[in-house]
Structure 1
Amino acid sequence: MAATGAESPRPEQGRRARRRVVAVVLAATVILLAAAVTIALLVAGPGGTPSATTSSGSLAPTPGTTGVVSPSPTADTGPTATTGGQTPLPPEPDPTASSRAQPPTPGATAAPPVPPGLLGQDLTIIPGAGNNIALTFDAGANAAGLDSILATLANRQVAGTFFLTGAWAASNPSGVARIVAAGHRVGNHSMTHPALTRLPESAIAAEIRDAEAAIAAAGGDPRPLFRFPFGDRDERTINAVNSLGYVPVRWTVDTLGWKGTSGGMSRSGVAQRVLGNLQPGGIILMHLGSNPDDGSTLDADALADVIDGIRAAGYGFVTLDRLLGP
């Protein structure tokens, strides 16, 4: 039987159903897009972009802060790490780094400048000192003669110059303090008393800087006076010493008291060597310690005779600071 006009055509109903489905899908899509935009805005930074983080995952400083962040235990604090775009953080101290000599003390006064006229030399007299003599004492072995020498210098009211090795200063810090407290001058005699001409420049520098630090730790400042161990030097080593801010000082006469009685010397022999070689600006070399074989301290024993004889000859006394100016 044919369909009557009272029935709704089936194709039209299908089209309406499909339109409703499409509308629902479109509405759902719009809702999802709106939700995504809202989430993006919530996590975005003030400028509309995601906030930066440090390597440990914590938020970096926002604009208007100082830009300094205290690093967490896992944060990168190496030379390339930055905080908020500021200056790189300094590296952590290396516990294995060398602890070699540093300047005498933080805030210490600068060393006296080395006069240009003294460069390239190992001085044997004090230029322009007139009728004055410098008594100098090398300390590298023991302190056997220290008490006697300090007592004689105090009694005779004479100031001397003491060239100390760093090893001696480290072993005798109270001795260094006593020398300085008595108003005497100290100088650098290397750390371990090696023959410097046999060493490369780096080892020479270490010997001088280590001695400087050891003497400074005991309360003295040896700059800028230096004496070569054994008197062993050449043009290369003199230049190396100058480059470290020191002027090498040799001697005019060696008392030879260090030879001891076992080496044929005596108290009177020490005095005779000094008094027989006096000249203006002379530098006398004596030693602080005892002879290792016989235990004699001839320089300490003869010191009073030496001072009295020098004065009787019309000379006065200066320290080696006179080299640096009147």
Structure 2
Amino acid sequence: MPASDGRRRAAALALAGALVVVAVALALLLPGRTAGPPSGAPSPSAVSPSARGGQTTTPSPGASVPVQVTDTPEAGETPVQPPVTVPPLTEPEPTDIPPQPPAPGTPPQPAPFPESLRGQDLTAIPAAGRVVALTFDAGANAAGLPKILSTLSAKGVTGTFFLTGNWVANNQAAVAQIAAAGHRVANHSMTHPGFTGLSNDQIAQQVRGAEQAILAAGADPRPLFRFPFGERDARTIAAVNSLGYVAVRWTVDTLGWKGTSGGISAQVVADRVRAGLQPGEIVLMHIGSNPDDGTTLDADALPQVIDNIRTAGYGFTTLDALLAR
């Protein structure tokens, strides 16, 4: 055989061998491969039975079986925990709650006073020693107030002022002035009526009305009360006590409110106080002027009144001395 023929035969055998290798490789790769939907599209067999109305399908031989994803982790895999719902934080209740102001229209709680004072309309301060309480009623006008406050300040004396609600409404600045000077403020009813002719409900309205007016003006009258005109009985005293007030009368009335038209002078005022002098004496004076002659005799006599009391060896107190018993 010629040499060229041998080379052609060897080349053909080599090519045939290569084709056999390729065919075998293809044979190994192609079995079990089927046409399927584009990547990302679900296979019909991947649809759950519930999605098909409960009908179960069996995949054909050679078809790929989709992997079912469940909530059960594989071995060694850290499970994914569902999100936890955290309840909102609640602030702890405070252990020390500051007192709240009463709702509008709610009367304040009654201020306490010694039980021994219940049922009385006091005419002196019991066991007070050699002291005198100067008290000033305000129900008409404030004509004598500037002179009274000036004298008390100059003499270094503190007094007790019984105010009506109506007077407070007309003299708001005066109430603040009295309180700022360190004087004691007390309740003298709302409109200054006689109390024995009032029902218990009307008494409550009078007392509470004045109380609210005085509180609104920046002072606190509790628990001291004086009956208008000094008119009282056992029922009205009990009614006032039930509202948290102790009733306070007086030892001596200066009668300065009568004015010169009533036969009184500043000297008469001073003499009446000195004549009634005793331990725990309560002196009744008035702020307003006489409606007929316009005089303010209590304000005029006050410097001499104070000097006479001190000359007799007495000092001064407010009606808060009643509450210290």
- Aligned to 2:121, what secondary structure does the other structure show? coil
Pairing 1:102–2:101 present: no
Matches within 5 A, 1:169-180: 169-180=168-179
Alignment deviations for residues 254-276 of structure 1 (CA, whole Å, 9 cap, x no partner) = 00000000000001010000001
- Aligned to 2:238, what secondary structure does the other structure show? helix
Structure 1 gaps, min length 5: 1-64, 67-98, 104-109
- Structure 2 counterpart of 1:298: 297
Pairing 1:208–2:213 present: no
Pairing 1:267–2:266 present: yes
Structure 2 gaps, min length 5: 1-86, 89-103
Does the CA contact (< 8 Å) of 2:111 and 2:245 recur in 1?
no
C-alpha separation in 1, matches of 2:263 and 2:167: 27
Does the CA contact (< 8 Å) of 1:101 and 1:206 recur in 2?
no
Alpha-carbon spacing, 1:185–1:101, altered in 2? closer, same or farther (3 Å): farther
- Structure 1 counterpart of 2:63: none
- Aligned to 2:192, what secondary structure does the other structure show? coil
- Structure 2 counterpart of 1:191: 190
Runs of 4+ residues deviating >6 angstroms: none
Does the CA contact (< 8 Å) of 2:110 and 2:245 recur in 1?
no
C-alpha separation in 1, matches of 2:145 and 2:314: 24
Q: Which amino acid aligns with 1:322?
A: A
Percent identical among aligned pairs is 67
C-alpha separation in 2, matches of 1:122 and 1:198: 18
Alpha-carbon spacing, 1:101–1:269, altered in 2? closer, same or farther (3 Å): farther
- Structure 2 counterpart of 1:286: 285
Does the CA contact (< 8 Å) of 1:122 and 1:249 recur in 2?
yes
The structure having more radius of gyration, on CA atoms, is 2
Q: CA deviation at 1:112?
A: 4.5
How many residue pairs get matched?
226
Q: CA deviation at 1:102?
A: 3.3
C-alpha separation in 1, matches of 2:181 and 2:158: 8
Alpha-carbon spacing, 1:204–1:126, altered in 2? closer, same or farther (3 Å): same
Cα RMSD between the aligned structures? Answer: 1.8
- Structure 2 counterpart of 1:219: 218
Q: TM-score, normalised by structure 2?
A: 0.67
Alignment deviations for residues 178-199 of structure 1 (CA, whole Å, 9 cap, x no partner) = 0000000000000000001000
Does the CA contact (< 8 Å) of 2:190 and 2:206 recur in 1?
yes
Alignment deviations for residues 114-142 of structure 1 (CA, whole Å, 9 cap, x no partner) = 10100000000001110000000000000
Alignment deviations for residues 231-267 of structure 1 (CA, whole Å, 9 cap, x no partner) = 0000000000000000000000000000000000001
C-alpha separation in 2, matches of 1:194 and 1:155: 34
Q: CA deviation at 1:218?
A: 0.6
Does the CA contact (< 8 Å) of 2:138 and 2:161 recur in 1?
yes
- Aligned to 2:154, what secondary structure does the other structure show? helix
- Aligned to 1:196, what secondary structure does the other structure show? coil
- Aligned to 2:284, what secondary structure does the other structure show? strand
Q: TM-score, normalised by structure 1?
A: 0.67
- Structure 2 counterpart of 1:11: none
Alignment deviations for residues 15-71 of structure 1 (CA, whole Å, 9 cap, x no partner) = xxxxxxxxxxxxxxxxxxxxxxxxxxxxxxxxxxxxxxxxxxxxxxxxxx99xxxxx
Alpha-carbon spacing, 1:273–1:100, altered in 2? closer, same or farther (3 Å): farther
